[in-house]
Chain A
C-alpha cells in the first residue's frame, strides 16, 4: 500500500504537484491520464523518489520513504519502473541487462539469474535475443526487454512512465500486449499514458490529473463514461474550449471576433461551424442579451468536440431570471434558432460558482441563467 500525504513538488518556475493525497491499494492498476504538463510523470517519479518531493510524505507499506536517511534502495527494489526512453544498459547484452541487477542487488547466483532472465524474456516474447546488445533492437523490443528487466527484480509495484510514447506507432501494440498481460498478474501498477483506450482496458482505477493534483479519481467507467468534473469531461471528450468574459456594453466585440476565428483555425473547426459560432456570439451578445450586459457580466464558453464535430456555446450570467426567448428582440432569437441545432434556456436559482479554471477573475457572481446553443454542421 502506498499512501501520499500532502505531496508537493515545486520547480523554479512551475509547481506541477500542489497537494496530492491518495491511497494506492495493493493490486490496484491505475491509469494516470491528463493534459501534458500536469505532473503525471512527476507524480510517479516522486513515488519512487527519482524526484525528491518538495514537501509531503510517501508512505510505502507503513514506512515514510521521504524521510532523510531512509535507505531508498530497499524501497526501490520493490518498486520497478519502466521508462519512456527504455534506459537499457547499453554496455550489457540483453540477458546481462536482466542478470546483472539480480546478481548485484538480489545477490542471486549467476545461473539462477540466467534462468530467471531466460524465462522472462520468453514471457515478453524476446527469446533468442539474449546475446544481442540493446542498440541492435527496435524500440518496441527494447521496451519489452526493459519490462522484463523490471520483472526480474520481482517488484511488488510497477511504475510505468509513458511506456509507449517514444515508440513508432507500429510497435505500440506489442508493448501494450505485454503490459496488459502484466496487469492481470495482480501486481500493483501505475501507468502514465496518453492512450485512452489502452488506459481504460487495463486499469481498475483512473487518476485524471490537472490543476496541480489528482483532479478526479474513479473507476474507468466513472471517469470515461460519466466524468463528474468539468475539466475531466473536456479532456475525455477531446473538447477544445474557448472562454470569453463579456464584462459590459463596452466589451471589445471586434477583438472577440478575431479571437473566435483564431480558435477555430487552431482547432481546424470546419468553416460552416465557425460561421455559426460567430453568428451565435453576435446575435446573443449584441442583440438578445444587450439588456443583461448593462447589469451583469456574461461568461461565454465555446466547446468543440472533435469526435462528434459539434460545438456548444454556453452563455451564463447572473441577476434576475431572463430568458432571451421572452425578450424584446424576438427577430434575432428566431434567426439564431433557425440556424443552429438547438437553442435552450435554463434557470438554476442555486447557480454555478465560478469554475476553478477562472477563479482568478475573482468574481463571486452566481451564474443563475444559462443559454445553451448547440451547433452542428
Chain B
C-alpha cells in the first residue's frame, strides 16, 4: 500500500512539473522587450540579430549594425520563432521569404519597410565530384535558355510574389541513363518545402525543368543548410537547388550557376502589439495546421516508418554483431580483444552525430549509399558496442563457480556458456538491453544530418510550414515515447518466451507422460 502511495505521489509531482513546462511553452514565455521602429535602434550593443548559418547575411549585419550581437540559426523557422518570442530582436534575411512567411500565418512579427546591404544572388551549386560530364556548362546553358524565353521570370512571379503553389506538369524521364541527384532542404517556403507529403517550391520546379531539359531522371535528397554544402563537396549529390546564396566561401568549393534569384535583405522584428489570442482557439488552429492541413499527419507516419526501420534493423544487426564479437572475444583471443576494445573505444568516445557524418561523408562518401543504409550501419555499430559491454558485464557477474560446476560435470566450454552461463546472465542483461533500445531510438533523431527524413526531421519540416513549435515538437516527443514503449514491450514478450524465471512442475515436465506421479 505504501509503495503504491509513493508512486502516485511521485507521479503527481511529475505531472505538475510537466504541466508547468507545457504552460510555459504555450505562453511562449514572452518577456517584455521594446518595439523596434527604426534602423537606428538596431545598432545597439543590447540588440541581438539573428541570421541563418552560411546565408552570408551576417556580413550585412556587421556592416549596417556593427554594435549589435549576431546570433546564428540553423534555419529560418527557428529564427522566426526566436523573434516572435522576443529571444532576439530582429532577423536579417531574404525579404521575400519573410514576407511569404507572414502571409502564410507567421504572427507576432513585422517586416520593416527598408532593405539593407547588397542583394544576394542565389544559384544552383554544382558538385565538383559529379559524375555527369560538364554539368556546370549544361546548367548554365539551361539557365540562359530559361532566362531568355521568360520561364524564369514567370516562375519567380508565380512562386515568390504571388505564392501560387501550383506545380506545372513537367515531363521528367522515369528511367534514364543520366541520373541527377539534387540536394535540397524542404523547409524553406516558397523555394523548397513540403505541401502535404509532396516536395514542392520554386527550386523544385527549377530542378524538374533542368532534369527534363537534360533528359535525366531525378532524385531529391533532403539536408539541413548545415550539411548541404558538405554533401555536394563529397559527391553525395550532383547539385544543390535550395535557394543557396553564392557566398565567397561557398564559391571556393562549389561552382555556382548564374543567379536563379536575386534577393533583397529585409529585417523582421517582433510585433509587440499583438496580444496572445485565447488559448483554446489557438490550440485548435495549431492542431489543425500541424496534423490535418495538407494531410500533414502522413509526414509523421512516413517519419515514424523511417525511424522504426533504422531502429529495428540496427537492433537486429547490432545484437547479432555484438553477440558474434563477444563470442569471438570470450575465449581470450588476444588479437580479437584488442581490436574490439579499440573499436568500442572509438565508437563510444564519439558523439553519435559526428560518427554518423564520418560514415556518410568520409567512409561512404564516394559510394552512392543511401543515408538510411549509412544510418543503419552506424547505429548497428553503436548498438553492437553497447551489446558487447552489456554482455561482458552481465556474463562476468555470473559466479565463477557455475562455470566450474558445469565443467566438472563434463560440459564443453560452448555448452557451458549456452546452457548454464547465458541463461543466468540474461536476467541481468535484459533490463540494460531494453534501456539501450530506448536510448537508440532517441539517438536516431540525428539522422536528419545525412539526408534521412525520420520522425524528428518530419517535425522540422512541419514546423517550417506552420511557423509554430509547440504541436510538432510535442507530437514528436510523444511519438518517441510510444515507439520506445512498444519496442521494449515486444522485447519483454520475447524475453518471457525464451526465459521464464519461475517454472511450474507442469512446465518442467512437459513431454514426459507422468500422470501417475504424485
A residues near B (Cβ < 8 Å) are 48, 50, 72-74, 76-77, 79-81, 83, 85-91, 93, 95-96, 100-101, 104-105, 110-111, 114, 130-131, 133, 146, 149-150, 153, 159
Chain A neighbourhood of B513, CB < 8 A: 111
Do the beta carbons of B408 and A104 come within 8 Å of each other? no
Counting from the closest, the 5 A-B pairs by CB-CB distance are: A77-B410, A87-B405, A81-B408, A87-B401, A76-B410
Q: Within the assembled complex, what's the spacing in Å between the Cα atoms of A37 and B505?
A: 44
For window 494-518 of chain B, which residues contact chain A by CB distance below 8 Å?
499, 501-505, 508-509, 511-514
Given contacts A87-B401, A90-B424, contact A100 B408 (CB under 8 A): no
Residues of A within 8 A of B503 (CB): 93, 131
Q: Point out the residues of chain B lying under 8 angstroms from A114, CB to CB.
A: 509, 512, 514
Known: A89-B420, A90-B424, A93-B508. A74 touches B402 (CB 8 A): no
Partner among B399, B401, B410, B514 whose Cβ is within 8 Å of the Cβ of A73: B410
**Inter-chain contact B514/A111, CB cutoff 8 Å:** yes
Other than the given A76-B409, A77-B409, A91-B423, 5 more pairs (CB < 8 A) read: A85-B399, A87-B404, A95-B508, A101-B409, A149-B409
In angstroms, Cα B405 to Cα A159, docked, is 12
Whole-angstrom distance between the alpha carbons of A95 and B507 in the complex?
12
Are A80 and B408 in touch, CB under 8 angstroms?
yes
Residue of A nearest to B424 (CB): A91
B411 at the interface (CB under 8 A from A): yes
Tell me if B19 counts as interface (CB < 8 A to partner A): no
Contact of B424 with A83 in the complex, beta carbons under 8 Å: no
Rounded to whole angstroms, the CA-CA distance of A77 and B419 in the bound complex is 16
Known: A90-B424, A104-B415, A110-B512. A50 touches B504 (CB 8 A): no
With A83-B401, A87-B399 already in contact, the answer to whether A105 and B514 are too (CB < 8 A) is: no
Of all chain B residues, which has the CB nearest A152?
Answer: B409
The answer to whether B407 and A87 have CB atoms under 8 Å apart is no
Query: What's the least CB distance linking B448 to chain A, in Å?
Result: 44
Chain B residues, CB < 8 A from A159: 408
Given A80-B408, A85-B401, A87-B404, A104-B512 contact (CB < 8 Å): no
With a CB–CB cut-off of 8 A, which chain A residues contact B407?
50, 72, 76
Q: 16 interchain pairs (CB within 8 A)?
A: A48-B408, A76-B410, A83-B401, A83-B405, A87-B399, A87-B402, A89-B405, A89-B420, A89-B424, A95-B508, A100-B419, A105-B410, A111-B512, A131-B503, A131-B508, A153-B410
Find chain A residues with CB under 8 A from B424 CB: 89-91
Is B412 part of the binding interface, using a Cβ–Cβ cutoff of 8 Å?
Answer: yes
CB distance from A152 to the nearest CB of B (A): 9
Residue of B nearest to A97 (CB): B405
Please indicate which of the listed interface residues A87, A88, A90, A150 has the most CB atoms of chain B within 10 Å of its own CB. Answer: A87
Q: How large is the interface on B (under 10, 10 to 19, 20 to 34, 35 or more residues)?
A: 20 to 34
Given known A83-B401, A87-B402, contact A50–B419 (CB-CB < 8 A): no
A101 touches B512 (CB 8 A): no
Question: Given that A50-B407, A91-B424 are contacting pairs, would A131 and B505 also be in contact in the complex, using a CB cutoff of 8 Å?
Answer: yes
Separation of A85 and B401 alpha carbons in the complex (Å):
8
Q: How far is the CA of A328 from the CA of B324 in the complex (A)?
A: 87
How far in angstroms is the closest Cβ of chain A from B383? 26
Cα(A153)–Cα(B406), bound, Å: 12
- The answer for the CA separation of A153 and B407 in the assembled complex, in Å, is 13
| Residues on the A chain within 8 Å of B410, using CB | 73-74, 76-77, 101, 105, 153
* CA distance in complex: A50, B400 (Å): 11
A104 to B408, CA, bound (A): 14
Q: Judging by beta carbons under 8 Å apart, are B404 and A83 in contact?
A: yes
When distances are taken between beta carbons in the complex, the residues of chain B under 8 Å from A133 are 502
Contact partner of A89 (CB less than 8 A), chosen from B402, B504, B512, is: B402
Whether the Cβ atoms of B508 and A101 lie closer than 8 Å is no
In the complex, which residue of chain A has the Cβ closest to the Cβ of B518? A128
Min CB distance A377 to B, Å, is 46
Closest to B501 in A: A91
Residue on A nearest B403 in the bound complex, by CB: A87
Contacts of B360-413 to chain A: CB distance below 8 A: 399, 401-402, 404-412
Query: Whole-angstrom distance between the alpha carbons of A67 and B317 in the complex?
Result: 40
CB distance from A92 to the nearest CB of B (A): 8
How far, in angstroms, from A105 to B408 measured CA to CA in the complex?
Answer: 12
Q: Does A105 contact B512, Cβ atoms closer than 8 Å? A: no
Query: In the bound complex, what is the Cα–Cα distance between A110 and B419 (angstroms)?
Result: 16
The answer on a CB contact under 8 Å between B508 and A96 is: yes
Compute how far the CA of A90 lies from the CA of B399 in the bound complex, rounded to whole angstroms: 10
Contact A131 B504 (CB under 8 A): yes
Compute how far the CA of A89 lies from the CA of B415 in the bound complex, rounded to whole angstroms.
14
A80–B512 touching, CB < 8 Å: no
CB <8 Å contact, A104 and B401: no
Task: Give chain B interface residues in 466-509, CB to chain A under 8 Å.
Answer: 499, 501-505, 508-509
CA of A81 to CA of B403, assembled, Å: 13
CA distance A148 to B508 in the complex (A): 18
In the bound assembly, the distance between CA atoms of A79 and B410 in angstroms comes to 9
What's the least CB distance linking B404 to chain A, in Å? Answer: 6
Minimum CB–CB distance for A343 against chain B, Å: 54
Give A91 to B406 CA distance when docked, in angstroms: 13
Question: Closest residue of chain B to A81, judged by CB?
Answer: B408
Q: Taking CB as reference atom, which chain A residue is nearest B405?
A: A87
Complex alpha-carbon distance, A85 and B501, angstroms: 22
Residue among B401, B410, B509, B511 with max Cβ neighbours from chain A (10 Å) = B410
Which B residues touch A153, using CB under 8 A? Answer: 409-410
**What chain B residues lie within 8 Å of A81 (beta carbons)?**
404-405, 408
Report the separation of the CA atoms of residues A81 and B222 in the bound assembly, to the nearest whole angstrom.
Answer: 65
For residue B404, which residues in chain A have a CB less than 8 angstroms away from its CB? 50, 81, 83, 87
A91 to B501, CA, bound (A): 7
Closest to A89 in B: B420
Residues of B within 8 A of A91 (CB): 423-424, 499, 501
Within 8 A of A (CB), among B414-450: 415, 419-420, 423-424
Specify the chain A residue showing the minimal Cβ separation from B404.
A50
Q: Measured between alpha carbons, how far is A275 from B411 in the docked complex, in Å?
A: 60
Q: Which residues of A contact B504 (CB under 8 A)?
A: 131
Bound together, the chains give a CA A30 to CA B412 distance in angstroms of 28
Assembly CA distance A91 to B502 (angstroms): 9
Q: Once bound together, how far apart are the Cα atoms of A149 and B408, in whole Å?
A: 11
Chain B residues in 8 Å Cβ range of A73: 410-412
Q: How far is the CA of A114 from the CA of B423 in the complex (A)?
A: 21
Give Cα distance in the complex from A51 to B424, angstroms. Answer: 24
**Chain B positions within 8 Å of A100 at CB level:** 419
B244 to chain A, nearest CB (A): 61
Q: How far is the CA of A159 from the CA of B424 in the complex (A)?
A: 26
